[in-house]
Amino acid sequence: MIDEIEIQAVTGPVVGEIRPPGSKSITNRALICAALADGESELLGALDSEDTRVMIEGLRALGVKVVVDDGGQTIQVVGCNGKLPAKKADIFVGNSGTTIRFLTAAVTLGCGEYRLDGIERMRERPIGDLVATLNQIGADVRCEGQGNCPPVLVKADGLRGGMATISGNISSQFLSGLLMAVPYAAEDVTLRVESTLVSVPYVEMTLKVMESFGVVASANANFSEIQIPCTAKYRACKYAIEPDASAASYFWALAAITGGRVTVQGLTAKSLQGDVGFVHCLSQMGCELHFEKDAITVQGAPLRGIEIDMNAISDTVQTLAVVALFAEGKTKIRNVEHIRHKETDRISALATELRKLGAEVEEYRSGIDITPGTLVPAAIDTYKDHRMAMSFALAGCKIEGIVIRDPGCTAKTYPEFFSELKSLTATQK
């Protein structure tokens, strides 16, 4: 693995088109639904990355047949009809939050003992709220780590069902994992969400993927209560996965900071992914947007700082923070405290690295203020966080001498990121 990479700055506007790889979030949700379904499903346009590979290996450890083809973009899954074949499994999830949260819920449907663990950082990411809710509906799950963190031990004998409460302010993935598993409970399930639910678009995504596999849940307007019938089960299907909108944010941002024009193919305003809303952040900063039948284009323009609540699209906070370096005035990002529990404490990491580049930064528990300064070269630490690496690579497209340390961390969701960024910017140097 390369220890670091220096980003080559461009001298003019970046103009081009790109189609990012498949959505990690949709790929891992579709894998869970397909694995529990009755029959053989085919997933098209899937993402091949560390996070999807550990999910696939986890399903295989549970006895589910998964065949990967076409460089990881086509996946055949032979579903188990809600009955996991393996009676015992030790599952390694790396640092994949979706994998441990989705599989912790799914393995409660089995009959046996399952243990899920990951890297050191995963052992610092709380999962207690999910564990507590599963136990309310008949599971036997406990955290072996300190502070309600992994490893997680599940002694499974199916789910009873009924009513349960879950906290919504740490991660929407807890709720998504529950939603995908509970159609196979013995009774209908009603989930009541306490506190404000973060990242609502990801829960909407989960429900839409479930619908594609034949299970329809009902939710009230603010997702404080969701009901899932035990009579509906997943049916195998052919399922197409759209490009990753979080990955697309880097290329839209590239257009913004260089005054260029970048088109991302395969995404529209009606995408399943809430992160397409990132383009509206850029619009507020001054960019022009063009929506087409199967693409979204951002046209760069002089940028101005904004104040914005990014709770719903928090995976793009780091992208916007780097764009803020090139805006006129202060940018204030609010209501994103939950990103402190991601691959790293993303608010703290952003503050540290933005200051290296010359920005004035004020850090809050649930947000960050960024005032551009005289920008200078720096070596950027990435904290084993793929989004830190990809976001700060954008700064290197405008500032000479930006070095990204541990660039290989992007393999988590976008292994080809640096080569595709280089290809897109090659003619603008």
Active site residues: 315
Cα-Cα end-to-end distance for the chain: 26
Q: What is the SS3 assignment for 163?
A: strand
CB 426 within 8 A of CB 419: no
Structure tokens at 11: 């001298």
CB 333 within 8 A of CB 343: no
CA–CA separation, 326 and 130 (whole Å): 40
CA–CA separation, 390 and 20 (whole Å): 13
Residue given tokens 């497209």 in the structure block: 397
CA–CA separation, 279 and 271 (whole Å): 13
CA–CA separation, 109 and 65 (whole Å): 17
Segment (H or E) for 396? helix 386-396
Residue given tokens 């280089």 in the structure block: 422
> In DSSP terms, which residues pair with 103 in a beta bridge?
none
- Nearest to 137, CA basis, from 104, 164, 176: 164
> In DSSP terms, which residues pair with 328 in a beta bridge?
304
Residue given tokens 């395969």 in the structure block: 266
